[in-house]
Amino acid sequence: MNIVDLHDPTRVDKTPDAIEILFSSGNFVQDDFKISKVELRLYSEQTDEKLGIFSLITSFVETDRGSIEMIYDEGFRGENSLLRVTEFLKSTLGISGLILRSIITLREKLK
């Protein structure tokens, strides 16, 4: 089962403009879910002359029971927004929190 947990799923109904892989070894287990991949995906939605590009950054977590894509951040975040978010998550415990949040939501959607 592939779940898109966004108010408007059509926002991610296309190929992302960029992807950062945070985890892809497939050896991690969280609450009986085997995690095979964790990504951040960037979708550039619009450009404002003064504010620049409006970025939608989603998290994508693939497990043995399905995958889920959720909003991580959005807004006028300037240049290299995906890279900055990736570096932040890698330098903190952010990946763990992102996985846990995704598993909780995925479990609820599978009920």
Beta carbons of 40 and 26 less than 8 angstroms apart: no
9: helix, strand or coil: helix
Residue 48 is predicted with a pLDDT of 87
Report yes or no: 60 and 106 within 8 Å, Cβ to Cβ: no
Distance CA 22, CA 52 (A): 26
Per-residue pLDDT at 27? 76
Q: What is the pTM of this model?
A: 0.90
| pLDDT for residue 46 | 85
Residue type, 54: F
What is residue 18's predicted lDDT score, i.e. its pLDDT?
96
Q: Roughly what angle, to the nearest 10 degrees, separates helices 94-110 and 81-91?
A: 100
